[in-house]
């Protein structure tokens, strides 16, 4: 071409959805000596999602509105994986949030799980499922769930995950009141005084396994604690 050399640089970008989760009921079985609680719940992914973009760059960067980079779990996952796999490449990650903050829908854990998968892809690490699950467990007990495409029964402190068939759920209405309170989940757990034996979750699991429509109301073991803490929350329930 007239003796002119052309250099074409292709910039690879990966875009992944980071889905929210919904608890189909929740029971608090016991308070553990380590400060956590034994729970029983069924969780499933819903269509609400964040969008996360990954590309190789000249510096490691995690961009998310409203949170300092070094406090972001995605940044911590990125730094860990780069060190663990001795990668000299640098990754830029941009998170577009749609899942409300502190909503109990697993936004942070979902983002961390998708970060593991996105970094795996952009760096061509070829990690298997167990390797990705093990990384997830370092940063949160529920992160492995978000690395799957299934519904799960969750017990223990949230770290015992058994994948089950997905329920037949079509339309869901979600209310998210904007209560400004740091560490909401921890405070609701700490305030809880109701412990149950798991029979409510067994009933829901039986309905799912037998393709029976889940019958409400669905028991939430933290409902009373939340109602005690958050003023006017009961009005939304009504």
Write out the E strands in 97-218. Answer: 151-155, 160-164
Q: What is the pLDDT of residue 217?
A: 85
- The residues that are catalytic are 21, 142
Helix (H, G, I), strand (E, B) or coil at 223: helix
The strand pairing partners of 90, in sequence order, are 57
pLDDT tens-digit readout, 71-112: 999 999 999 999 999 999 999 999 999 998 878 899 999 999
Bridge partners (DSSP) of residue 176 are none
Contacts of 45 (CB under 8 A, 6+ apart): 19, 20, 21, 22, 146, 149, 151
Q: What is the pLDDT of residues 188-199, one digit of tens each?
A: 999 999 999 999
The predicted pLDDT at position 10 comes to 61
Coil, helix or strand for 224?
helix
Contact 181, 167 (CB under 8 A): no
The domain 13-237: what is its CATH number?
Answer: 3.30.230.10
Based on its alpha-carbon atoms, the radius of gyration of the chain, rounded to whole angstroms, reads 21
Q: Output the DSSP codes for 73-132.
A: HHHHHHHHHHHHTT---EEEEEEE--SPTTSSS-HHHHHHHHHHHHHHHHTT----HHHH
- Determine the number of helices (DSSP H) and then strands (DSSP E) in the chain: 8, 6
> In the prediction, which pLDDT does 133 show?
92
Residue 154 pLDDT greater than 60, yes or no: yes
pTM, two decimal places = 0.85
Helix or strand holding residue 29 (H, E): strand 13-31
Task: Quote the longest CA-to-CA distance of the chain.
Answer: 81
Long-range residue pairs from 160-165, CB within 8 A, at least 24 positions apart, any chain: 164/42, 164/205, 164/208, 164/209, 165/208, 165/209
- Is the dihedral angle over the CA atoms 85, 86, 90, 95 positive or is it negative? positive
CA distance to 36, 162, 232, per residue, from 238 (Å): 31, 34, 10
Which residues, listed in sequence order, are joined to residue 64 by a DSSP beta bridge? Answer: 95
Q: What is the pLDDT of residue 34?
A: 86
């Amino acid at each position: 071409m007239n003796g002119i050399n052309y250099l074409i640089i292709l910039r690879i970008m990966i875009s992944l959805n980071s889905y929210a989760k919904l608890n189909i009921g929740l029971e608090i079985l016991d308070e553990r000596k380590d400060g956590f609680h034994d729970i029983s719940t069924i969780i499933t992914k819903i269509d609400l999602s964040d969008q996360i973009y990954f590309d190789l760059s000249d510096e490691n960067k995690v961009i998310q509105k409203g949170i300092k980079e070094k406090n972001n779990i995605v940044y911590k996952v990125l730094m860990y994986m780069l060190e663990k796999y001795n990668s000299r490449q640098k990754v830029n990650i941009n998170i577009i949030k749609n899942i409300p903050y502190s909503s109990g829908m697993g936004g942070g854990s979902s983002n961390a799980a998708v970060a593991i998968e996105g970094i795996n892809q952009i760096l061509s690490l070829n990690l298997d499922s167990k390797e990705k699950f093990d990384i997830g467990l370092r940063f949160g007990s529920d992160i492995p769930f978000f690395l799957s495409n299934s519904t799960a029964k969750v017990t223990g402190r949230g770290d015992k995950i058994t994948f089950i068939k997905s329920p037949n759920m079509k339309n869901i209405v979600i209310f998210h009141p904007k209560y400004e309170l740091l560490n909401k989940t921890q405070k609701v757990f700490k305030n809880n005084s109701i412990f149950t034996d798991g029979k409510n979750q067994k009933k829901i699991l039986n309905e799912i396994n037998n393709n029976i429509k889940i019958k409400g109301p669905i028991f939430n073991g933290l409902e009373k604690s939340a109602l005690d803490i958050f003023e006017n929350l009961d009005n939304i329930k009504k």
